[in-house]
């Protein structure tokens, strides 16, 4: 139920903001708006604002919306109202009305990011967990427990790192841009530092998913190797493990943090799914004891991994990231620009085959993330709304004839040549745009089903 409510609220808000952008600028340009609709299908709620001829409607299917304006191309217009029709407006007004929808989504994203920046958010400190074996981080000399104070493409561009999420975002940008990243790290906060270069440019990045960070080797913040809640009937309970136990070694191998312990547990199962017993050296109430733990095999995709039926790793150290009024707004603008540019870059790479179309997500994935973000709290949900708002704004600016960007393409042609696109070409381009858009939607829906099935 939470997933459905979060999804409907998200869609309704983002669509309403998008259409309001069109509506507000249309009214400002002197165009008569006949209907403002959020959703399609059967009207659920209809009303008129005092002093306005516009009919406001909320419909049953919240998968889109529209603003219907007076237009001679759609229906006859009385001569007395011809100056209020959309098609009679100057080029700059028509372009502004069309561009206002995507612009409204981008402005909403800026506002949402700014609200989070102003209110503050609790995020893990930028302390690194043990790197994945054979990863770029391990080869570069990282061992886990390092505090990252700065990051940049080189020594001259180093900037302070506020949190682990801040570092993760910069790593994502650098990897998808095929750029190396320099980290300034120390063994403790404020201690002597050294530079580490991660050669991200050598990665063959086709999907922005969890495997990307496995290749980089930075998958999570540092946590103590502590056993948390132990589930009844699990391997941990059968071995005698208790919540609060600190694991020091597994089969004689030192356990530096929770990440390393989870990796050892996962690797306990053979390629055919056979379980293998491990000897854990555990510290409990100041004493060392050795317990025999036999993780239970579980298949994930094509691989078998071990599970012990307990939460592994203490909560990471947290830091409150908060910014002032001006700085918070500026960072909201910067983040919106970064996400927009990264979205366009990934679309371009998919178009030329340098990135996988598996990166496309559809309504099922969006609904899934809506529910997950809402369950984590209001801040996570606001960040989700900001991300989807950017995506909606950027998507609508693509030069596809059925989207706002397609109409802006027509107006660019009109501005350059001095004549509008002919009706024949308009119809051809519209049909082509529908085919392309339907193909993209089909791929996105297929990816949704594949993700949920996996």
CA–CA distance, 242 with 146 (Å, rounded to integer): 29
Could you count the other beta carbons within 10 Å of the beta carbon of residue 181?
A: 25
Q: Position of tokens 């989070």?
A: 116
Q: 90: buried, middle or exposed (CB in 10 Å: 19+, 13-18, 0-12)?
A: exposed
Please give the span between the terminal C-alpha atoms of the chain, in angstroms, as a whole number: 22
Annotated catalytic residue 274: no
Q: Do the Cβ atoms of 326 and 137 come closer than 8 Å?
A: no
Half-sphere exposure (CA, 13 Å, Cβ side) for 384? Answer: 24
Q: Position of tokens 């390092």?
A: 146
CA gyration radius, the chain: 27
Of 129, 187, 179, 116, whose CA–CA distance to 151 is shortest?
Answer: 179
Could you count the other beta carbons within 10 Å of the beta carbon of residue 172?
A: 18
Tell me which of 19, 155, 298, 414 is the catalytic residue: 19
* Residues labelled as active-site residues: 19
């Amino acid at each position: 139920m939470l997933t459905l409510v979060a999804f409907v609220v998200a869609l309704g808000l983002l669509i309403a903001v998008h259409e309001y952008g069109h509506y507000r600028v249309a009214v400002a340009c002197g165009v008569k708006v006949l209907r403002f609709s959020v959703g399609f299908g059967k009207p659920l709620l209809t009303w008129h604002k005092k002093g306005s001829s516009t009919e406001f409607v909320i419909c049953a299917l919240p998968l889109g919306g529209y603003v219907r304006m007076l237009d001679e191309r759609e229906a006859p217009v009385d001569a007395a109202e011809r100056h209020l029709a959309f098609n009679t407006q100057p080029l700059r007004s028509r372009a502004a009305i069309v561009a206002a929808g995507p612009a409204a989504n981008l402005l909403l994203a800026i506002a949402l990011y700014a609200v989070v920046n102003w209110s503050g958010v609790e995020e893990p400190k930028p302390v690194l967990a043990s790197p994945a074996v054979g990863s770029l981080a391990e080869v570069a000399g990282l061992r886990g427990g390092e505090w990252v104070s700065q990051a940049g493409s080189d020594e001259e561009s180093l900037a302070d790192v506020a949190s682990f999420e801040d570092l993760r975002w910069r790593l994502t940008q650098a990897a998808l841009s095929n750029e190396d990243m320099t980290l300034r790290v120390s063994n403790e906060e404020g201690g002597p530092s050294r530079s580490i270069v991660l050669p991200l440019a050598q990665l063959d990045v086709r999907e922005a998913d969890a495997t990307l960070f496995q290749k980089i080797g930075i998958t999570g913040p540092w946590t103590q190797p502590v056993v948390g809640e132990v589930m009844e009937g699990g391997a941990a309970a059968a071995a005698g493990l208790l919540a609060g136990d600190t694991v020091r070694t597994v089969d004689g191998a030192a356990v530096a943090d929770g990440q390393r312990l989870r990796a050892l547990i996962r690797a306990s199962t053979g390629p055919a799914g056979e379980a293998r017993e491990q000897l854990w050296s555990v510290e409990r109430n100041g004493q060392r004891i050795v317990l025999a733990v036999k993780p239970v095999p579980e298949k994930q995709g094509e691989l078998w991994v071990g599970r012990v039926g307990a939460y592994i790793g203490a909560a990471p150290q947290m830091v409150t990231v908060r910014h002032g009024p001006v700085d918070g707004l500026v960072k909201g603008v910067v983040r919106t620009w970064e996400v927009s540019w990264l979205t366009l870059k990934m679309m371009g790479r998919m178009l030329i085959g340098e990135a996988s179309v598996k990166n496309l997500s559809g309504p099922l994935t969006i609904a899934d993330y809506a529910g997950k973000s809402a369950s984590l709290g209001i801040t996570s949900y606001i960040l989700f709304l900001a991300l989807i708002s950017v995506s909606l704004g950027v998507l609508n600016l693509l030069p596809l004839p059925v989207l706002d960007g397609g109409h802006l393409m027509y107006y660019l042609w009109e501005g350059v040549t001095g004549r509008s696109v002919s009706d024949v070409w308009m119809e051809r381009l519209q049909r082509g745009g529908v085919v392309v858009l339907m193909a993209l939607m089909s791929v996105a829906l297929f990816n949704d089903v594949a993700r949920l099935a996996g």
